[in-house]
Amino acid sequence: MTALPTDAAPAAGANPQTLTQRMPATRDPRPNRPLRLKRSRPKRPSLRFSPTAWAKLLFLRDRGDTEVGGFGIAPRADVLRVDDIVTVCQQTTPVTVKFDDAAVADFFDQQIDAGRHPEQFGRIWIHTHPGDSAQPSSVDEATFDRVFGASDWAVMFILAKGGQVYARLRYNLGPGGSLRLSVRVDFTHPFPAAAPGDWEQEYQRHVHPERWDHFRPGDDPFLQFLEAPLATCDERLSDPDPFEEISSWIM
């Protein structure tokens, strides 16, 4: 008779149920740690342009050597989708845009008469930079604070000639805050054909560049601005703060 191995020999009076092979206990590699669920990062909101609106913005940016400004027009159901860009009478330089206050007031009246609400036409401020940087200047920031500071929300969008973009949404509800927006062209909705002839007429009617003279040897080493008289807009751009009277319109 073959003897059982020593470690398998039952002890006297042992319970047969204890003779089953004992497996080592499996230990939790992370004892007493709460289960952590992987949280997805919230998707950043985007400012979207219809192909026609984007084409018009590129046309305005490349039409001259100065900044050009305007307002984004959006549907009421999707206020961060720009379907059109409308300019108003303005004086421009390579570093500034100066809107005519009366022209802005007229624009607001026309939009209200067309049945639009302020959030559809008075919340997205758009302008171009003739250089490679789309970062807002100190003048841009001051204008954004002064004009849109009392609005429940507003967007500042800048497109530079080099292709860079900058979009920031600021909201003043509750504690307030701001966040950067991504930018893209939205092809998911119907859009009209490009109309460069109409855009050219709008540019000539509304955009009036000031003369920009660079310094000569011996002059002050800062660039000088020399105002040129306006051909249209009834020469109404003499107000030193053209946004002051229309700030209440976009609240």
Give the pLDDT confidence of 80-139 residue by residue, as tens digits.
Answer: 999 999 999 999 999 999 999 999 999 999 999 999 999 999 999 999 999 999 999 999
pLDDT at 225 (0 to 100) = 35
Name the residue type at position 166: Y
Separation CA 79–CA 181 (nearest Å): 13
pLDDT at 174 (0 to 100) = 82
Mean pLDDT value across residues 153-181 = 93
Mean pLDDT value across residues 220-246 = 45
**pLDDT band at 247; cut points 50, 70, 90:** very low
Reported as a single tens digit per residue, the pLDDT across 203-213 is 999 999 987 65
* Domains within the chain, CATH numbers bracketed: 46-250 (3.40.140.10)
Of residues 6 and 170, which shows the higher confidence score?
A: 170
Q: Which of 191, 170, 173 is nearest to 181 (CA)?
A: 170
* Rg of the chain, C-alpha, whole Å: 32
233, 103 contact by CB (below 8 A): yes
Three-state secondary structure call for residue 168: strand
Instruction: Tell me the range of 93-97, 155-159, 177-181 where mean pLDDT is highest.
Output: 155-159
Separation CA 161–CA 131 (nearest Å): 5
**pLDDT band at 79; cut points 50, 70, 90:** very high
**pLDDT band at 150; cut points 50, 70, 90:** confident
Reported as a single tens digit per residue, the pLDDT across 44-63 is 899 999 999 999 999 999 99
Mean pLDDT, the chain, whole residue set: 81
Separation CA 183–CA 80 (nearest Å): 10
pTM > 0.75: no
Per-residue tokens: 117 = 């609400």
